[in-house]
Structure 1
Amino acid sequence: MKLRKGRAFGAVTVLAALIAGVVSCNVVGRTEINNGQPVTSGSSSAETTEATEPITEEQPDKVVHVVAAGDNLIHYSVFKNAEALAGGVGYDFKPMYSEVKYLVEGADLAILNQETIISQSNPIRGADGGQLIFNSPPEVADAVIDLGFDVFTMANNHLLDMGTDGLEESIRFWNQKAEENNLTVLGAYLNEEDANNIRVREVNGVKIAFLAYAHHINGFDSLLDDVPLRVIKNEEEDVIERQIKEADQLADVVIVSAHWGEDDTTVVTDDRIELANKMVDWGADVILGCHTHTAETMEWIERDDGTKGFVYYSMGNFICAQTDNFNVVGEMPDFDIVIDGNTNELRLENVGCIPTIIHYESEFSNMKIYPYSKYSPELAERHGLPYAVPQGSYPEFGWDVINRIIDEQIPAEFRKLDK
Structure 2
Amino acid sequence: MKLRKGRAAGALAVLLAIVAGGIGCGTIVGKANNDPQEDSKAEGTTVPEETTEEQTTLPPDKVVHVTAAGDNLIHHSVMVNARELAGGSGYDFKPLYSEVKYLIQDADVAVLNQETVISESNEVRGAEGGVLIFNSPPEVADAVIDLGFDVFTMANNHLLDMGTSGLEESINFWNRKAVENDLTVLGAYLDEEDANNIRVREVNGVKIAFLAYAEHINGFDALLDDVPLRVIKNDEEDVIERQIKQARQIADAVIVSAHWGAEDTTIVSEDRTELANKMVEWGADVILGCHTHTAQTMEWIERDDGTKGFVYYSMGNFICAQTDNFNVVGELADFDIVIDGTTGELRLEDVGCIPTIVHYESEFSNMKIYPYSKYSPELAERHGLPYAVPQGTYTDFGWDVLNDIIDEAIPTEFRKLDK
The two structures have a TM-score, normalised by structure 1, of 0.88
Give 5+ residue unaligned stretches, structure 1. Answer: 1-24, 26-48
The Cα offsets for residues 296-353 of structure 1, whole Å up to 9 and x where unpaired, read as: 0000000011100000000000000000000000000000111111111111000000
Task: Compare 206-215 and 51-60 and name the one that shifted more.
Answer: 51-60
The CA distance in 1 between the partners of 2:200 and 2:360, in whole Å, is 37
Q: What residue identity is the alignment partner of 1:276?
A: A
The Cα offsets for residues 253-290 of structure 1, whole Å up to 9 and x where unpaired, read as: 00000000011011000000000000000000000000
- Which structure is higher in helix share? 2
The Cα offsets for residues 38-68 of structure 1, whole Å up to 9 and x where unpaired, read as: xxxxxxxxxxx99844643211111101100
Q: What residue identity is the alignment partner of 1:117?
A: V
Determine the structure 1 residue equivalent to 2:208: 208
The alignment status of 1:321 with 2:321, answered yes or no, reads yes
Determine the structure 1 residue equivalent to 2:174: 174
Deviation at 1:155, TM superposition (A): 0.1
Determine the structure 2 residue equivalent to 1:3: none
Secondary structure at 2:257's aligned position in 1? strand
Determine the structure 2 residue equivalent to 1:12: none
Secondary structure at 2:174's aligned position in 1? helix
Determine the structure 2 residue equivalent to 1:108: 108
Determine the structure 1 residue equivalent to 2:8: none
How do 1:281-300 residues align onto structure 2 when only pairs under 5 Å count? 281-300=281-300
The CA distance in 2 between the partners of 1:318 and 1:208, in whole Å, is 23
The Cα offsets for residues 213-258 of structure 1, whole Å up to 9 and x where unpaired, read as: 0000001011001000000000000000000000000100000000
The CA distance in 1 between the partners of 2:305 and 2:208, in whole Å, is 22
Determine the structure 2 residue equivalent to 1:334: 334
Secondary structure at 2:179's aligned position in 1? helix
Determine the structure 2 residue equivalent to 1:71: 71
The alignment status of 1:159 with 2:159, answered yes or no, reads yes
The Cα offsets for residues 88-125 of structure 1, whole Å up to 9 and x where unpaired, read as: 01000000000000000111100000000000000000
How do 1:83-102 residues align onto structure 2 when only pairs under 5 Å count? 83-102=83-102
Q: What residue identity is the alignment partner of 1:362?
A: S
Q: What residue identity is the alignment partner of 2:392?
A: G
Q: Deviating runs (4+, > 2 A) in structure 1?
A: 49-57
**Percent of aligned pairs with the same residue?**
84
The alignment status of 1:249 with 2:261, answered yes or no, reads no
The CA distance in 2 between the partners of 1:367 and 1:119, in whole Å, is 24
Deviation at 1:130, TM superposition (A): 1.6
Determine the structure 1 residue equivalent to 2:381: 381
Secondary structure at 1:79's aligned position in 2? helix
The CA distance in 1 between the partners of 2:415 and 2:179, in whole Å, is 36
How do 1:268-287 residues align onto structure 2 when only pairs under 5 Å count? 268-287=268-287
The CA distance in 2 between the partners of 1:339 and 1:59, in whole Å, is 11
Determine the structure 1 residue equivalent to 2:140: 140
Secondary structure at 1:266's aligned position in 2? coil
The CA distance in 1 between the partners of 2:403 and 2:178, in whole Å, is 38
Q: What residue identity is the alignment partner of 1:213?
A: Y
Q: What residue identity is the alignment partner of 2:111?
A: I
The CA distance in 1 between the partners of 2:346 and 2:242, in whole Å, is 21
The CA distance in 2 between the partners of 1:64 and 1:374, in whole Å, is 25
The CA distance in 1 between the partners of 2:368 and 2:192, in whole Å, is 39
Determine the structure 1 residue equivalent to 2:312: 312
Secondary structure at 1:188's aligned position in 2? coil
The CA distance in 1 between the partners of 2:63 and 2:374, in whole Å, is 27
The CA distance in 1 between the partners of 2:197 and 2:226, in whole Å, is 21
Determine the structure 2 residue equivalent to 1:259: 259
The two structures have a TM-score, normalised by structure 2, of 0.88
The alignment status of 1:349 with 2:349, answered yes or no, reads yes
Give 5+ residue unaligned stretches, structure 2. Answer: 1-32, 34-48
Determine the structure 1 residue equivalent to 2:398: 398
The CA distance in 2 between the partners of 1:355 and 1:190, in whole Å, is 35
Secondary structure at 2:67's aligned position in 1? strand
Determine the structure 1 residue equivalent to 2:127: 127
Deviation at 1:129, TM superposition (A): 1.7
The alignment status of 1:198 with 2:198, answered yes or no, reads yes
The CA distance in 2 between the partners of 1:153 and 1:129, in whole Å, is 27
The Cα offsets for residues 109-158 of structure 1, whole Å up to 9 and x where unpaired, read as: 00000000000000000011221000000000000000000100000000
The CA distance in 2 between the partners of 1:390 and 1:115, in whole Å, is 21
Determine the structure 1 residue equivalent to 2:18: none
Give the total of aligned pairs.
372
Determine the structure 2 residue equivalent to 1:237: 237
Determine the structure 2 residue equivalent to 1:364: 364
Secondary structure at 1:226's aligned position in 2? coil
Determine the structure 2 residue equivalent to 1:18: none
The CA distance in 2 between the partners of 1:171 and 1:298, in whole Å, is 30
Deviation at 1:364, TM superposition (A): 0.3
Q: What residue identity is the alignment partner of 1:401?
A: V
Q: What residue identity is the alignment partner of 2:65?
A: H
The CA distance in 2 between the partners of 1:353 and 1:192, in whole Å, is 34
Q: What residue identity is the alignment partner of 1:257?
A: S
Determine the structure 1 residue equivalent to 2:39: none
